[in-house]
Structure 1
Amino acid sequence: MSLVVPFYNEGDGVDLFARTITSILAALPDTEWEIVCVDDGSKDNTLKRLIALSAQNNQFKVVELSRNFGKEAAMTAGLDAATGAAVIVIDADADLQDPPDLTPAMVDA
């Protein structure tokens, strides 16, 4: 399964997001996950932190956009890069505004 997440100037929240989402996904039985993180032209250290995260955990895949194209374009780029049999998109960046704890219910559905 693939999880697609757009990031824009979310550097300070990358680690919290990663800890939260990996914990939730690890609790789902019989599923393998890739987490496609799309940096939408961030001006802060988001891209650097995402690259470091992907070097530590191969579940994370990073897509870098050359500039800020907007959330919809970032989600589309993530969908294009996703390789899972099914995809879940987190629509509100990595700030955990869309509750990731709903992911198991979405998988069940």
Structure 2
Amino acid sequence: MPDFSFSFAETEGQTVIAVHGDLDSVSHVALDDALEESVADDARVIMDLAGLTFLDSRGLGTLVALWRRLERGGGALVLAGARYNAARALWVTGLADRFTMVDDLPAALALQG
């Protein structure tokens, strides 16, 4: 099983969460808990998925739950660096068309408004 890790950083008034490894039915629990504890409902969040190697439906559920919570609270979520081969679930479900997605972290930081 590939290792899974994530890190939080504050950059230019936004919370950047870098994800590395498989975000799946096992690993999503740790990320869910950290998001609930550390991310305010009105936060501007960039989820840097450049290091993501796999995303299953449970991991996708984590992204959707965060997105909905932030939208309700006046925050925003941007997904940066998602690659089709690692995050296929985003495209298969049609969510890639609903999320704000950009090519990389610099592009996400440029969206700050």
Please indicate, yes or no, whether the TM-score normalized by the shorter chain is above 0.5: no
**Greater per-residue strand proportion:** 2
The TM-score, its normalising length taken from structure 1, stands at 0.42
Bigger RCO (CA 8 Å, 6+ sep) = 1
The TM-score, its normalising length taken from structure 2, stands at 0.41
